[in-house]
Amino acid sequence: MTDVAIIGASMTQFGERDGWVCDLLAEAATACLDDTGVRADALDHLYVSNMASGEFEGQTGVPNALAHDIGALGAYTQRVDQTSSSGGAGIYAAWQSIASGASDLTLLVGGEKMTHRTTGEATDVIASLTHPHEYKHGVTLPSFAGLTARAYLDQYDAPREALAEVAVKNHANGVDNPHAQFRKEINRETALDSPLVADPLRLYDFCPITDGSAALLFCPVDVAREYTDDYVRVAGVAGATDTHVVHERPDPTTMNGVVKSGERAFEQAGLSPEDVDVAELHDMFTILEFLQYEDLGFAEKGHAWEDAMDGTTARDGDLPINTSGGLKSKGHPLGASGVAQGYEIYKQLVGEAGDRQVDAEVGLACNVGGFGNCVTTAIFEVGA
Amino acid sequence: MSLDAGRCPNGHLSCPPHPRCPECGEPQSETVDLADETATVVTWTTSYATPPGVREPNTLAIVEFEAYDVRLLGQVDGDVEIGDTVEATYTEELRDPEAGIREPASQAWDGYRFSPS
């Protein structure tokens, strides 16, 4: 298999944007190509990570639209949909395209346009991934988070304040991310006093609804230097599924898709959790940061909350988590999020993260679809 | 009315049923009616931000049946805590089928709510 490099990255401003999905995708795509000095007509493959452009906007077939808009005619295009882990699935697909030799230059662009819909409508679009039994009971992804958070706090005797600490930390990190939807610090009291959304979780336990796009450019490692001196190597990437019906899992506080995708990615990379210097975890809800932290092996089951409370996961801690601000403050344009996680790790590893910069040679991104229904984990290291 | 779990020849149960047993891959050749069975609350939440056509607030629980090794999620009437015993009550329409994104004809909309025993 060919060793795979990422040689360029971009992300648009996240938040409430005027443009529609094709505008946002084109903005990120052209920025990524310009960042690397690559012409669009040199692309072999062009992938778009997107969950629901048809449902949100009535626009389908966006990869072909993007190819035409950016001058990549002739490239092979495909849409990668894995609900909210579409971006991570896109990283896996782009890696496969280069590793297999099918493509020598693949551009991955993730994007979603959501904010023109009401919160209820957007929640319903996302909830449409649930099983008919779950859907008829009015289950939403936030309500899964409430069910899980209550079980976690009860099972591991964890303090409610620990969840608030995740929000406080990720908001603090987001202040230094110029692309983030929210760039404001919050304190623990603000998080703990915010309105209940899915008991015991409150407003500040949830990421917002967001428009935005991000892109990554992939090629074989052995030609990466022809494009740039600063590249990262995809050391390992893997995906896995868990049950579709969430209540059929034996333990609500364990996400087996995270466990399996993490194990497979670490095995491929020849690395272990101790080797990771920085990680982007899918904090669509604060509780998810704990679950992934444990299920990827960064802490024993039931102990992630301690690392949140003692500063281990802060930017100046031993294992900084979500230096980008996470989904919580950066925003969560569904198909873009996994790609934007890759953007943050790329920037950290090539030393271009500015005020967010930490000391890192190995970075990990975990992107969660549904409520752990499908997961991809990617491990990146500084190019040799 | 019935609340059917699927059961495979190896005795594994799932509710809702699946074409093949998630645990061993065998066809689920029989059903078990859970409608009259009591269950214990594993965890619960109350959602205050619900999609179109869903009651607000909407309390939901994951429960484990006492007589069978199977769990189920459902709406809750009344107040519950983890460990409470609940029973199932048939409800004709759990949400408005016309209000959401899902094609109304694509699925059933009736089912069982849980309430404290």
Are residues A150 and B102, on separate chains, in Cβ contact within 8 Å?
Answer: no
Are B5 and B69 spatial neighbours (Cβ–Cβ below 8 Å)? no
pLDDT tens by residue, A361-378? 999 999 999 999 999 999
Cβ neighbours, 10 Å, residue A184: 11
Listed in sequence order, the DSSP H helices in chain A are 21-36, 53-57, 62-70, 86-99, 119-127, 132-136, 141-156, 160-174, 188-193, 221-227, 256-269, 286-295, 304-309, 326-330, 334-349
Contacts of A120 in chain B (CB under 8 A): 49-52
Are residues A252 and B43, on separate chains, in Cβ contact within 8 Å?
Answer: yes
Burial class (CB in 10 A: 0-12, 13-18, 19+), A66: buried
A133, A140, A198 member nearest B51 (Cβ):
A140
Q: Is the pTM of this model over 0.85?
A: yes
All residues at 6 or more sequence positions from A346 whose CB lies less than 8 Å from its CB, including other chains: A6, A9, A216, A232, A380
pLDDT for the residue numbered A26:
98
Residue with structure tokens 């209550």?
A150
Selected residue of A119, A134, A139 to mutate for chain B interface (largest B Cβ count, 10 A): A139
For residues A4-33, average pLDDT: 98
Q: Is the dihedral of CA A296, A300, A305, A306 positive or negative?
A: negative
Query: Is B22's Cβ below 8 Å from some Cβ in A?
Result: yes
Query: Is A117's Cβ below 8 Å from some Cβ in B?
Result: no
pLDDT tens by residue, B55-99? 999 999 999 999 999 999 999 999 999 999 999 999 999 999 999
A-chain residue closest to B104, CA distance: A136
For residues A144-158, average pLDDT: 98
Per-residue confidence band for A384, with pLDDT thresholds at 50, 70 and 90: confident
Selected residue of A114, A135, A153 to mutate for chain B interface (largest B Cβ count, 10 A): A135
Contacts of B104 in chain A (CB under 8 A): none
For residues B31-43, average pLDDT: 98
Query: Is A125's Cβ below 8 Å from some Cβ in B?
Result: yes
pLDDT tens by residue, A286-299? 999 999 999 999 99
Per-residue confidence band for A119, with pLDDT thresholds at 50, 70 and 90: very high
Per-residue confidence band for A250, with pLDDT thresholds at 50, 70 and 90: very high
Are A219 and A32 spatial neighbours (Cβ–Cβ below 8 Å)? no
Query: Is B19's Cβ below 8 Å from some Cβ in A?
Result: no
pLDDT tens by residue, A91-106? 999 999 999 999 999 9
Are residues A124 and B100, on separate chains, in Cβ contact within 8 Å?
Answer: yes
pLDDT for the residue numbered B1:
86
Q: How far apart are the C-alpha atoms of A300 and A306, rounded to whole Å?
A: 10
Are residues A132 and B58, on separate chains, in Cβ contact within 8 Å?
Answer: no
